[in-house]
Amino acid sequence: DTEVTQTPKHLVMGMTNKKSLKCEQHMGHRAMYWYKQKAKKPPELMFVYSYEKLSINESVPSRFSPECPNSSLLNLHLHALQPEDSALYLCASSLAGTSGIDEQFFGPGTRLTVL
Amino acid sequence: DAKTTQPPSMDCAEGRAANLPCNHSTISGNEYVYWYRQIHSQGPQYIIHGLKNNETNEMASLIITEDRKSSTLILPHATLRDTAVYYCIVRVGAGGTSYGKLTFGQGTILTVHP
């Protein structure tokens, strides 16, 4: 299984809602990532988890709250979002070997619309 | 991580080789060159990476100049399914604080036409 799955594929939420994005991989990878991609722009890194611990937070607003319950699962909890947070949210995973050289496998993304 | 410069768009005829250039003149000795691509409405896909030597895999070849200030990704026989945005990324290897971090530039939109 060389796949990263993300659910839901599409999500529409109001500014007062609380929702969660889910990402799963069964490749034995120990690093997992959240990226945000606005239309016609490149992906931007948000968070990195390494061995279930948060290792990088790219100064993301607290209305985005990541969680890594186990090595296969990564969640992104959303609360009080703004319309400008509408974007494609991409999850990725990588082996996290000791060389630091590893390819990242990306999921198809969740298309989020905030009304 | 070093910045990269890529042409915004390129065209290629189906069946011909697609040569995508990337400039990374400020690359450091411990930084690798990675290539990813993103087909419309999909997540990015890893293609290849290299440090100094030229590399080849089932998808593409990577040619890195001797001074490492530029590189070229070669798709030997482009197909319509290779139409995508191609990203050249430079990042540190082991021991760097940017471990695991990919910084995407604007990329090159490659259009393969019949």
pLDDT of B30: 83
For residue B58, the Cα-to-chain-centroid distance in whole angstroms is: 15
Contact A42 B107 (CB under 8 A): yes
The candidate with the shortest Cα–Cα distance to B69, out of B37, B103, B29, B97, is B29
The candidate with the shortest Cα–Cα distance to A32, out of A78, A92, A79, is A92
Q: Which residues of A touch B106 (CB under 8 A)?
A: 42
pLDDT band at A103, cuts 50/70/90?
confident
Find the CB nearest A42 among B42, B43, B105: B105
Contact B45 A106 (CB under 8 A): yes
Q: Which residues of A touch B92 (CB under 8 A)?
A: 100
Least confident among A2-11, A89-98, B4-13:
A89-98
Mean pLDDT for the stretch of residues A53-62: 93
Q: Which residues of A touch B34 (CB under 8 A)?
A: 103
Contact B93 A103 (CB under 8 A): no
The answer to whether the CB of B36 falls within 8 A of the CB of B105 is no
Instruction: Express each pLDDT in A77-89 by its tens digit.
Output: 999 999 999 999 9
- The first and second tokens of residue A14, run together, are 């109001």
